[in-house]
Amino acid sequence: MPQNKSVLIKPARNILGSLRVPGDKSISHRYAMLAALAPGRSRFDNFAPGADCASTLGCVRALGCNVERDEKGTVVIDGLGTQLRVPAAPLDCGNSGSTMRMLSGILAAQPFSSELIGDESLSRRPMKRVIEPLTQMGADIHATNGDRAPLRMNGAKLHGIDYAPPVASAQVKTSVLFAGLLAEGKTTVAEPARTRDHGELALRAFGAEVERTQNAVSIFGGQALHPLEAFVPGDISSAAFFLCAATIFPESNLVIDGVLLNPTRSALLDVLAAMGSRISMVRVEESHGELVGTITLAPGQGRHVKIEKSLTADRRASCACGDRPVHGGRTGGSRCGRAACEGIRPAECGHSQSSGDGRASGADRRWLAHSRRPAPARRRDRKLRRSPHRYGIRRRSAAGRRRDAYPQRRVCCHFLSQFL
């Protein structure tokens, strides 16, 4: 197709049809890492196609495992067992903090030295939360400027610990459990709050015994893993944008097949149902510990609801609820860029960032309407500059302007332009 071919996009009145979303990124990371530790061939269909999971596959390949990937999203990994091979060069994690944090738990127990590096953005992120527990287990980790990448690890013999992280983190929990699998004795992680449990479910799927008591998860070291063949469920975080978009249009009827329904990840469905959307889950089954099913959604009469820590639903509510206030929505920054792919900052769709109460004002709620306001002044993002006035995105004040604060905005504009 010629590069300069134009595409005409017309406003939509509804969203009808069915779709499948790419494989879940969190599960794909963990499956790939554990497949490297399981001697034999593992196969994963619908493996996440993103760059982060590609970085994980690259690191697994650099550790001596044969990795094959086809255009249909199937990944085959020939695992080597607990004794991986010495990498010939530093392991490049790209922009994936998940790769660096979780892989650290495996590399810390290997009988060789290794180094984890990343791009400029990843090199600025703190790694102290994962360095501290691994060091308590006996790991020898050297970071740049105290707790930044690159991370250099000298092989060490690890021992189990009882660890209570000060901040709940699924990545830290998974990293410690992976290290505990290769350590001596019992390792327990007692979370201050329940986080996603993909790490412990993946360990069980590969044959490890994992114990859970309320918010504490334990694993004994020295367990052998077996290879796994699995279908990676569709990413519910990716499905969220389609679900929210379908909720906006009253005549929509959307079906999403093979999507992840893990209770630690699917709170958005409860929020949309509480707001009046008619949601049903059919053909629900368990696949290696993960719940997978089909979601059907038809919008209903929008009503106000109290939202806890749900950025996507918070923004959906600002459009749907008319003059009704939305209480309790978190309006701070997001740890995951995918949440920011919703694209429009809370302050730009009528939310009060300064008060932090998540209330939506009536005047600025129409962030999906065709606005005739002039485009914002020159910005770093040329693609966004051509389109934000069409979606009612307001300029930020000079005091609140930050460089590249939300580079994913252009993804949102591309997505929203298909429905306006």
- Look at the chain and report how many structural domains it folds into: 2
Q: Do 191 and 226 belong to one domain?
A: yes
Domain end (from 173, 206, 231): 231
Is position 88 within any domain? yes
d(CA 405, CA 398): 13
Query: Looking at the chain, how many residues does it have?
Result: 420
**Statement to judge: residues 80 and 207 lie in one domain:** yes
Q: What is the pLDDT along the chain (420 residues), one digit of tens a residue?
A: 456 788 888 877 888 999 999 999 999 999 999 999 999 999 999 999 999 999 999 999 999 999 999 999 999 999 999 889 999 999 999 999 999 999 999 999 999 999 999 999 999 999 999 999 999 999 999 998 889 999 999 989 999 999 999 999 999 999 999 999 999 999 999 999 999 999 999 999 999 999 999 899 999 999 999 999 999 999 999 999 999 989 888 889 999 999 999 999 988 898 898 888 999 999 999 999 999 999 999 987 766 776 655 444 434 443 443 333 344 443 333 333 343 333 333 333 333 333 333 333 333 333 333 323 333 444 343 333 333 333 333 333 344 443 333 333 333 344 344 433
Which among 407, 416, 401, 418 has a CA at the least distance from the CA of 367?
416
The answer to whether residue 10 is domain-embedded is: no
- Does the residue 19 lie in any domain? no
Q: Domain of 34: which CATH number?
A: 3.65.10.10
Residue 44: give the domain boundaries: 25-231
Q: Which of 178, 205, 231 represents a domain boundary (last residue)?
A: 231
Its pTM stands at: 0.75
Residue 18 forms part of a structural domain:
no
Looking at the fold, whether 225 and 243 belong to one and the same domain comes out as no
Strand ranges of the sheet holding 148-154, from the earlier edge strand across to the other edge: 91-92, 114-117, 148-154, 140-144
Residues 130 and 138 sit within 8 Å (Cβ to Cβ): no
Tell me: do 387 and 243 sit in the same domain: yes
> Which of 231, 257, 277 is the last residue in one of the domains?
231
Asked if 192 and 112 sit in the same domain, the reply is yes
